[in-house]
Structure formats: C-alpha cells, structure tokens
A and B are shown apart, each in its own frame.
Chain A
Amino acid sequence: MTEDTKPEFAEVTHERSFSRRGFLRNGLSVVGAMTACVGALSPLRELDGDDIPSVEKFLQRHYKEMNGTEMASALERIRREVKKRWDIDPVVRDVRAKDGVEFVYALNLSRCIGCRKCVHACVEENNQSRSPEIQYIRVLEMPRGTTDIEKGNHHYDRPTVPDDDHFYMPIQCHQCADAPCVKVCPVEATWTEKDGITVIDYDWCIGCRYCEAACPYWARRFNYTKPEIPAADINPEMSYLSNRPREKGVMEKCTFCLHRTREGKMPACLEVCPTGARKFGNVLDPDSEVSQILKNKRVFVLKEEVGTLPRFFYYFDERYPRTEGGLDGEGETK
C-alpha cells in the first residue's frame, strides 16, 4: 500500500518523481521556491517598531468599550510613543462631550477673504502630517453667481486676496447629523458623539477608505504613508479622539478641535480668522452667536439634496467680500 515501490513502466521518464528519491529531487525546486518566498518578504525587515503593534495595542478595545483603566493605559501608551518619537512631553487626555451642548459652525461668506490662515492654523493645532501635507480645510475660490462647489478653484495663488470676481468658501468636515461616513464604516471606527461631532478612533480604523468614498464634501483624509511632523511643530496638548499624532493607514479629519471646544474654547480655525468670518458655538443656547445667526441670517448648507444634515452653515450678509469702495462704480472719494 505504499507508493514507493518500483514503477512498472520504466520508459515513462517522470515515474521517478513518484519515488521518495524522486520527490527529494523535486524538493530542490521546492526549497528554491521557499527561499524565493522568504526573499519576497524581505522588505519587511524595514518595518520599524511603530508599524508592528504591541500586544497592548493589538488587544485594545474600541473607544466606546474601554473603561477608565483601559483608557488611562491607552493614554499612557500614547504619551510614551510621542515621547519616544519626538522627545517631548505631551499632555494626552480623553476629553468627553458635555451635556446640553450641540455644536454648530457658521461661516460668513461676505467676510471670508480666502487668506487660508484657517488651513494652516488647523494643521498646526491638530498635528497633521507635513510630508505628505494633510490639510483638513480646503478653501475654494468660487466665481460669482454660483454656489455649486464643484466650480471652485482649489489652487488659487494670487498676490493678494480677496479677488473682486470671486468669493471664498472654506470646506471642512461638516459633522453631519446623518453622516454617510458613519453609515458605511464596517467596524464602527467613526461615529457621531452626543455633542454632534463625528469622531474617529484612530486605533480602531482598519483603513478600508469606504468613508472617504462616501463623504459628499471630501472632508476625510487618509494616511497613505507614515505622517511626518517636525518636532518643533508638535502641539503637545492632545486628546485621544482629536489631535494626537496618527499613524500610517488610518483616516483622520476635522474634529471641530474637540480638545479645545469641549472645554469651552474656540476652534483653532476660528481663532486665527482675521475677518471674523467664522462663528462657532452651542446651538442649544438661544443667546449664542450661532443661534442668533441661524435665526436671523439667510443660512444654507452645501449639497442639501444628499440629506446629510450638516452642522456647518454658510451665509452671505449683503455682498461679496471686497477691499475697496462702495457698490460697483461709485463711492470713491477725493
């Protein structure tokens, strides 16, 4: 019943392969193939410690499931990683949502001059990768007569802004109340918190990029490679859900600076805006600026027909932004 008896058909040359000897001869090719296999995997020797998760990180649970101790050790782990990589001492916290607060952002298109300070203040505040450069906010230079964001120019580079024939529309994550990105995530790595902010658990995201395909406002960014941030540019005030440094292979996006706003401060983009075009606050408070704006100004949202219910409202006051003079062709003095 064994298979290593002498073959009967001697003239069939490949019979040898059925004997054990023949099999060993074949074995040379097999060994060659295995060596080639190991060789194929040899680039993995370049994997550094950051890429291979520790046991603690591997077993870490989803943000919503972690208890106090687990969160504390996760924050400690993040502190250690930041210290190891950039040699600074960060303060990493888990800033939670407050009750009775729902954030709304309003943007006055008559005031935005397209200076892009918000873009870079955000990059600075949120520890975004500088190489490749990730920017959460995209300012569109829109021609007059349209609010169709597909007509905007992203790459305007004028000596001065604003330009008389355009207005400027910054777009970032709208923290939609019915967010398509939240719907499509297979592992629930992104969800909407009770104060309205759509957050991402960077340690849970598997990097499938389905949310990036789903977002109608192109607000989500993916780390296609390891993010590079110079140590001098690190913001050491970090929080678990917002601006702690991310790794390669996970999604990120604007979080309305929740590490600031959940403590009552203004987000970084608003702080730097020179014209006061940006307005932020708690819409549940009837006296807040945003409540007043929603009550009194002619607000609209982008791509309303998609049904995402964004928390980001745009409005115009009386005209487009301009630098000189009154209405067209009048009002120059002396």
Chain B
Amino acid sequence: MSGTNLGVSGIFFALAAWFFLAPATDPYPSSKPVRAITPEDISTAPRRVRMTEPPGIGEGAFRLSCQECHKLFPSDRDVRVRLSQHEDIHLNHGLNSWCFNCHSLEDRNKLVLEKDEEIGFDRVEELCAKCHGTVYRDWERGMHGRTNGYWDTSAGEAERLVCTQCHDPHSPAYSSYEPLPGPNTLRMGEPLQDGHDERKRNPLMQWRGQSGQESGHEPTQADHESTLAPHSEDEE
C-alpha cells in the first residue's frame, strides 16, 4: 500500500511543481486595430465651407468681387461652355446645363430665383429650392441634410447646414469616401460571398442576372469607373 501511496503523492507533487513553474502569461491573441483613427477621419466639420458672399479674388483692400470684372464686358446669354477664367468649375448638374439658371446675367454677385428676382449668396438654399422643391421642403423640417449641435434647442444651438455645405453647386452629386476600417472582433468570419445561396435568396437578384449589371443595360465604361474611380469631381 505504501508503494501506491508514494506513487500517488509523487504524481501530485509533480503536478504541483508543474503548476507553479508553468508561466501564467497571456497566450491568447487579441484583435488590434487595423490602423490608427486620426482626428481627421472622424472630424465633424462640414464638408464644404459656407459662402455668404460671392467669392472674389484678391484680399483685403484689393478684393474684387465677381461683378467688378463682369461689369466690364457683356454676357452672352447663349453661352453654355466653360470660359477660360473659370476652368476649375465643372458643371455637372444633370439637366441644369446653363450657368444663368442660377447666376444673374446682370449682376454676378447675385443669384436668381424665378422671375429674375435676385438674391445674395447667403440665401443659396432658396435658389436650390427653385428646382428642388421637395428636397427643400424636407430640409426645412430637418428631414434632409445635416443638423449638428443640439437637438434640444432650449439647451443650445442646433447647427443646420445649408445646401452648399455638403453639395458643390456645380457638381452636386455626393462624392465618394474611402471607408474607415471595418469590424475587428476576436474571431472573424469571412465576408459573405455572392454565391448561389445568396442569389437564390435575394428576390431582386433573381431577375438581374449577374450582380453588378443593371437589367436591360449593358455595363459601360462609366459604370466601371463609377465604382473604381477615387473621389474627385470628374467629368464623364
């Protein structure tokens, strides 16, 4: 019996030694952020600066507003091409292909509403409302556009952003962003593949054939470019 006794106690002491000597370090992997998120990544600033007066050239005492130059030469009502002085402006505003739909012919410091009523650059939302009435209606109630600051206006200011603080009036389509890093959990699954299961189960995909193709429309160069091009105000 003592033999068994010694054997058993030997095993236990050996086990105890192993427990004490084994390192109790953390061998378990943990997820680490893919990249550091900079303050610019999550900046709350509006995308564009709001203009309350026409952009001029020059500064201080030498500032010239738009009309200062434009009063010197007549405007051609029919012009629909970009002039040499404004090469940075690309007009890509859908059906709105005429500068003077928005800008006043007589006074370049002003914008025009219907019936040639002139308004300043500080009321630009009314200009947009001229054609985008439904969007303006939504914007007025806060259903469109950004509202930052306070939801409780009794506690602080609600900062309502105006149209041009998000949309470039000459190319208003919202440009793309580079997405920030995705989920990074302890264990990750692979991204969902657009395989059979997927297509069978998505009712719309049944009728659209290959994913990425519109129904009744061959994929064109423009379609490919729209997904791959970096964000910039490119022409077609």
A contacts B directly in the complex (CB < 8 Å)? yes
- In angstroms, Cα B208 to Cα A158, docked, is 22
- Indicate if the CB atoms of B16 and A39 lie closer than 8 Å: yes
- In angstroms, Cα B131 to Cα A195, docked, is 40
Binds A, one of B49-57, B71-79, B112-120, B227-235: B227-235
Report B-chain residues with C-beta under 8 Å of the C-beta of A14.
1
Judge whether A145 is part of the interface by a CB distance below 8 angstroms: yes
One digit per residue, 1 when the CB lies within 8 angstroms of any chain B CB and 0 when it does not, for chain A 112-134 equals: 01111101110110000011110
Report B-chain residues with C-beta under 8 Å of the C-beta of A273.
146
Q: Which of A143, A270, A282, A288 contacts B202 (CB 8 A)?
A: A143
- In angstroms, Cα B40 to Cα A120, docked, is 11
- Indicate if the CB atoms of A271 and B148 lie closer than 8 Å: yes
Report A-chain residues with C-beta under 8 Å of the C-beta of B17.
39
Judge whether B147 is part of the interface by a CB distance below 8 angstroms: yes
- Indicate if the CB atoms of A146 and B202 lie closer than 8 Å: yes
Chain B residues with a Cβ closer than 8 Å to the other chain, count = 94
- Indicate if the CB atoms of B151 and A42 lie closer than 8 Å: no
One digit per residue, 1 when the CB lies within 8 angstroms of any chain A CB and 0 when it does not, for chain B 59-89 equals: 0000000000000000000000000000000
Binds A, one of B101-109, B121-129, B210-218: B210-218
- Indicate if the CB atoms of A324 and B173 lie closer than 8 Å: yes
Report A-chain residues with C-beta under 8 Å of the C-beta of B211.
143, 165
B178, B192, B223 pick with most chain A CB within 10 angstroms: B192
- Indicate if the CB atoms of A328 and B217 lie closer than 8 Å: yes
In the complex formed, the residue of B with least CB distance to A43 is B24
A31, A43, A266 pick with most chain B CB within 10 angstroms: A266
Binds B, one of A87-95, A236-244, A257-265, A300-308: A257-265
- Indicate if the CB atoms of A160 and B178 lie closer than 8 Å: yes
Judge whether A55 is part of the interface by a CB distance below 8 angstroms: no
Report A-chain residues with C-beta under 8 Å of the C-beta of B147.
266, 276, 279, 289
- Indicate if the CB atoms of B192 and A151 lie closer than 8 Å: yes
Q: Main SS of chain B's interface residues? A: loop
Distance in angstroms from A274 CB to nearest chain B CB is 6
Q: Which of A115, A146, A160, A165 contacts B230 (CB 8 A)?
A: A160
- Indicate if the CB atoms of A31 and B9 lie closer than 8 Å: yes
One digit per residue, 1 when the CB lies within 8 angstroms of any chain A CB and 0 when it does not, for chain B 22-65 equals: 00100010111100010001111001000000000000000000
Report B-chain residues with C-beta under 8 Å of the C-beta of A326.
94-95
One digit per residue, 1 when the CB lies within 8 angstroms of any chain A CB and 0 when it does not, for chain B 182-199 equals: 111110111110100010
Report B-chain residues with C-beta under 8 Å of the C-beta of A321.
174
Q: Which of B16, B37, B223 contacts A124 (CB 8 A)?
A: B37
Report A-chain residues with C-beta under 8 Å of the C-beta of B148.
266, 270-271
Report B-chain residues with C-beta under 8 Å of the C-beta of A32.
8-13, 16
Q: Which of A43, A151, A157, A282 contacts B152 (CB 8 A)?
A: A282
Known: A114-B179, A266-B147, A317-B144. 19 other contacts (CB 8 A): A32-B11, A32-B12, A32-B13, A36-B12, A36-B19, A120-B181, A132-B30, A133-B183, A135-B184, A155-B182, A158-B227, A161-B178, A228-B30, A264-B155, A264-B156, A276-B146, A288-B142, A292-B141, A326-B95
| 11 CB-based A-B contacts, threshold 8 Å | A36-B12, A113-B176, A115-B177, A130-B33, A275-B166, A279-B142, A288-B142, A296-B138, A323-B226, A323-B231, A325-B222
**Interface positions of A (Cβ within 8 A of B):** 13-14, 16-17, 22, 25-26, 28-29, 31-33, 35-36, 38-40, 42-43, 45-46, 108, 113-117, 119-121, 123-124, 130-133, 135, 138-139, 143-146, 148, 151-165, 224-225, 228, 261, 263-266, 270-276, 279-282, 288-289, 292-293, 296-297, 317, 321-326, 328-329, 331-334
